[in-house]
Structure 1
Amino acid sequence: MRMIRVGFDLGTTYSAFCVYDDNSKNVDYFKFDTCAREFFPTIIAYHREDRARCYVGEAARRYRFSPQYDVYDTFKLRLGDGACENGGRIRSPFEAARDFVGQVLKKFSENRGVSLEDMILVQTVPDIWKNEIHNKIALEHLAQIYEDLGMDTSSRVSFESEPVSAAVYYLNEICQGNYHGHIVVVDYGGGTLDLTLCRAEKNGSISVLYSCGNGGRGQTGCAGNAFDQAVTMRLASRNGMDAAIYVPGKPAFDALQSAFEDCKIASTESTRAALENYYESGGLDDPVAFSVMMPPPVYEEYDVYASDIALAFESVNHQALRESVMEMQKKCGEMDVDMEGIDDFRVLLVGGFSNLYCVENCVRELFGSMAGIDDPRFDGRMNRESRSTAIAHGACLIAAGITPVAYINQTEVGFFARNLHGQEIAVPVLHRGKAVKEYAQPQYCPYTLARTFQDMPVSLDLFFDDGMGPVRVRMDKAFGSICPNFDKEDNRYQIGFSIDRHRIPQLHIRDAGGEENVISLYQTIARLPAIIIQEELKEGQP
């Protein structure tokens, strides 16, 4: 039977789901309910008494402030550490995410008359997750969600970088394959800031060279959702609203923020014009960008000024964006990327929050450009709609096998061992700069570890370095729990590492008899009683 190839962009605030048509070679967006937009809110609502009444998207949003429903959003930001903790609520972020994904797949299956077994699915994830300790386990939580839903992640589900998926969209749909050169993707959405450097090769593939950014954490993250909250706080304060009830997390405040988000999305052009005047006048001209109309029974209208938007962006977004772009520019310089090249260098702004004029203005300034000025490096064909849907669209193209993607390993991984003289040495196994596919099979160190040393049980300290400095993972007693046949006193072990199809480093421990245990490095960090130590390591030693 013909497989259905789909792309799923699970966003912090909005998601998109699309399918590739083998006959027309087009990408079709799956639209929920009567919603005409290509994306839908990442929100799920459970009826408190009737378990069968569970809604996602716009349908769930209608019940956001109903006391009869338990409503969850921004759960994507909490899929890392603590994803399975409910924080006093009925469901954990993991459970909310699993049910949301399950409902999306169910609705699509029922609408198209296909089963989960008929799908090849590409789920996009922030590339920056792998660089942050508290988010490293998030990808594995997503993989577990699909396994729980009955989809085999070893063959039918794959996870691709959000910025890389956007680059695939740009290369195929905007450029029609007629671009070869470097692409810096600035993916700024509702919760995360993700920058990735890619290279569009002449053979039609994309090489992924470097990533940086800010993965966000907690309830708001560091991107659009945090910005929305900051502007809403300004509105509440300026209009003299009761400070006891207009605070984040309270229904009145959340209703105001929800109304602001809707008006912001619908008022992109007027907001842009107001901000242009504000910046050009040095803040002297402060026009109204748009007005927020509160839904019944409030019926109040509040003006949002250009200064509200500019100052909120300055307070919660500007520094993180500036630092991340400058880090990327530094890396481009180290790799001899010509950032002035109008023929072979592009900067793509994607993600819903990238439509905010403040974002484009900041990024352009850092690259020596100006918003509103024709600059070939900032392709004008990437319009508002393209920025919001490029990630899901590109994921769908990857699922269809349109553009091969090759990743470069950015994490050095190894372990510490003691030699016969009792000296501790660092043993790197996976090296940065190598193609990820080279590590599909485990790479074993030639050294072996004895079960005991000087009558003491041996331990194992791992280390990894994402480019931000080495991190030591002290295993202590956890080492014995993952070793095969650790009860044999004369056993010896070889340590190896590989990188699986989801680009997750795997720890291999093989004993003298050839029996092997495999556990992901991130599971080792998150689930075993290991101690994480950030420290400077000198070459060849701790």
Structure 2
Amino acid sequence: MGYHIGLDFGTTNSIVSYWQDGKLEAFQYGGENGQKYVPSFIAYDDEFIEIGKSARTTATNHPEVPSYGNFKMDLPLDDQFSNRYDSNKTPQSVTTDYLRELLLSRENSYSFQAQQGPIAGLVVSVPEIWQRDISNRGRERLQTLIAQHLGLEEQLIQLVSEPVAAAAYYAWETQQRQQETQDPPFEGNVLVCDMGGGTFDVSLCRVYGENKVEVLYFDGQGDRGLDAAGVAFDRRCVRLAYQQKHGSSPDENSTEFLHLLQQFEAVKISGHDKYSKKIKNYLKSPQDLAEQILYSFNGYRLNHKQVQEAFQPIAEGIQRVMKRVTTWLKENNTTCDRLFLVGGFSQFLLVRNTILDSLGNHLNREQIERQFNLIESAFAISYGACLIANGLVQPSETYIHSLGITVQWVDGETIKISEKDIPLVQGGTYLDDLISVKFADIPPLASFQVNEPLQLTLWVDPKSRGTPLKLELKDTVKLPQASSEDKWRVGMRVNRSHIAYLVVESLCGRKRGEYELGNIIAQLFPSFVLFE
């Protein structure tokens, strides 16, 4: 026995939810006086590890203690923390330590396992860009550390895109409410916009009753990392306030700047309703109210004009994404029936207005989902992951990239040897149809020496646009022989976390080797890129 839980592993905060007595519950880290939002922050005080709010406090009061924040967005990258930290730790090791303390630690009496009980199943949400950008290794690395480093291989059900998880919660919750009011069940297209600390992702989902959600389209700008959402806005605001007061730029890696960020975030969140009203008034008369002070924190002040300046790069990013969304809606003659805004930063009035203005005639203002309160919207991703973990909602997703191998082919009439591309994963195929291995329809490969590399050429067509790239696998695929007469067949599969595998299987002994393709595919690309 045990709990099937959902984890919203966020850039700034993480939320764990579980199903108990027929209800969704948000786990409270720290016991009765703890928090349901657990800051994605960790501090290493000698041999003692702290996470969450206490780690932030330690980092503020003891700058000599190594500490890390926003490390989720570093997971896909190759360097350690060389750009932002003086440390030999890696994003993988820090993420492992954080998740162990949050979920499993026996020494930490606040962990989920210590407070609630054992974990029987786990669904973790990740940025949508981690699937759409084929060179991104975030999903593979997160799966590896959860399965191997945390020992949760059997418990890990899948990684799911954050907006898809939110859509799953939306589908389930709206059906529950309509059953209570005896209204007809909602079926239609929901555009989920997820704006959190580090990414802006959108997903257009078709809701079929309470148990099925089909992903029609997804987009976002998660490739921009920390420049794309709430963290970037907070940093720009604090930077502008500091420059105004001191006449110079702050050291953004200093303890002072970190402390100011925490104070600004606390003021911004605690006064959300008040500041929303002020911003509404400003937008009605921007010229008259531009110099009016909006935020005040620890002797620093920001007026409306400065806040608008800090938000402008994010607004431009939202507009780029939403332009692609509206183009897709028009080209596919598809409607957007509801808009569901999730993620902490999506509740910021300037974010909401920019999204609505970008949608234009594709959505009436009345269609924005208002029946969910601020807390429910913030918990939506974690709740949706929990519903998926418990089998209460089944998302239906497709794998968008095409993959295959290139083989030497002999023309029987002319005895001419040429290359032939054999597709093994066709983009646009539902994940349920890719779970089983599809083997290449070619003659079996001949035997080879023990541990001798198998010569294969992999091809990848990002987003299935008809422009495949090829990579010869010279030293990657090695298998022990079952016998001197062995022959092999080659295939591919994709799991529910959108992670692709190359499979080489013997025909005699049925021995199998599987190779995760994330690191291999990444060799085809110069860096972390997004294909437009």
Q: TM-score, normalised by structure 1?
A: 0.84
Aligned with 1:521 (options 517, 520, 524) = 517
Match of 1:112 in 2: 115
Match of 1:189 in 2: 196
- Displacement of 1:109 after TM fit? 3.8
Match of 1:357 in 2: 349
**Are the equivalent residues in 2 in contact too, given 1:197–1:211 (CA < 8 A)?**
yes
String of CA shifts for 1:73-131, please: whole Å, max 9, x gaps: 11100111326676640421111111111111132345535234xx3222111122112
Match of 1:72 in 2: 68
- Displacement of 1:185 after TM fit? 0.8
- Displacement of 1:435 after TM fit? 1.6
1:402 aligns with 2:405: no
**Are the equivalent residues in 1 in contact too, given 2:28–2:34 (CA < 8 A)?**
no
Count of aligned residue pairs for this structure pair: 501
Match of 1:379 in 2: 369
- Displacement of 1:8 after TM fit? 1.1
Describe the shift of the 1:374–1:433 C-alpha distance in structure 2 as closer, same or farther (beyond 3 A): closer
Match of 1:8 in 2: 7
Aligned with 1:223 (options 226, 229, 240) = 229
String of CA shifts for 1:394-416, please: whole Å, max 9, x gaps: 21222222112221222222233
**Are the equivalent residues in 2 in contact too, given 1:451–1:457 (CA < 8 A)?**
no
String of CA shifts for 1:203-229, please: whole Å, max 9, x gaps: 7311122221122456x3421111111
Describe the shift of the 1:471–1:356 C-alpha distance in structure 2 as closer, same or farther (beyond 3 A): farther
Match of 1:446 in 2: 441
Describe the shift of the 1:396–1:247 C-alpha distance in structure 2 as closer, same or farther (beyond 3 A): same
Identity %: 22
Amino acid at match of 1:108: S
1:60 aligns with 2:52: no
Match of 1:482 in 2: 477
Q: Which has the higher helix share?
A: 2
**Are the equivalent residues in 2 in contact too, given 1:183–1:199 (CA < 8 A)?**
yes
Describe the shift of the 1:471–1:221 C-alpha distance in structure 2 as closer, same or farther (beyond 3 A): farther
Describe the shift of the 1:236–1:459 C-alpha distance in structure 2 as closer, same or farther (beyond 3 A): same
**Are the equivalent residues in 1 in contact too, given 2:487–2:507 (CA < 8 A)?**
yes
- Displacement of 1:483 after TM fit? 4.0
| Structure 1 unmatched ranges of 5 or more | 295-300, 340-344, 535-542
- Displacement of 1:54 after TM fit? 1.5
Q: In 1, distance between residues paired with 2:26 and 2:259?
A: 32
Describe the shift of the 1:208–1:179 C-alpha distance in structure 2 as closer, same or farther (beyond 3 A): same
Describe the shift of the 1:374–1:328 C-alpha distance in structure 2 as closer, same or farther (beyond 3 A): closer
String of CA shifts for 1:31-85, please: whole Å, max 9, x gaps: 43565653121101110x3x0x211111111012313411111110011132667
**Are the equivalent residues in 2 in contact too, given 1:194–1:213 (CA < 8 A)?**
yes
Match of 1:537 in 2: none
**Are the equivalent residues in 2 in contact too, given 1:277–1:286 (CA < 8 A)?**
no
Moved more, 405-414 or 86-95: 86-95
Q: In 2, distance between residues paired with 1:471 and 1:200?
A: 33
1:248 aligns with 2:225: no
Aligned with 2:111: secondary structure? helix
| Structure 2 unmatched ranges of 5 or more | 179-184, 411-415, 448-452, 528-532
**Are the equivalent residues in 2 in contact too, given 1:78–1:93 (CA < 8 A)?**
yes
**Are the equivalent residues in 2 in contact too, given 1:263–1:290 (CA < 8 A)?**
no
Q: In 1, distance between residues paired with 2:506 and 2:80?
A: 33
Q: In 1, distance between residues paired with 2:246 and 2:471?
A: 53
Q: In 2, distance between residues paired with 1:217 and 1:153?
A: 30
Aligned residue runs from structure 1 range 209-288, under 5 A: 209-216=216-223, 220-243=226-249, 246-286=250-290, 288=292
Aligned with 1:405: secondary structure? strand
**Are the equivalent residues in 1 in contact too, given 2:492–2:500 (CA < 8 A)?**
yes
Aligned with 1:475: secondary structure? strand
Moved more, 469-478 or 394-403: 469-478
Aligned with 1:226: secondary structure? helix
Aligned residue runs from structure 1 range 90-129, under 5 A: 90-105=88-103, 106=105, 107-109=110-112, 111-116=114-119, 119-129=120-130
Amino acid at match of 1:520: E
Aligned with 1:323 (options 311, 320, 331) = 320
Amino acid at match of 2:6: G
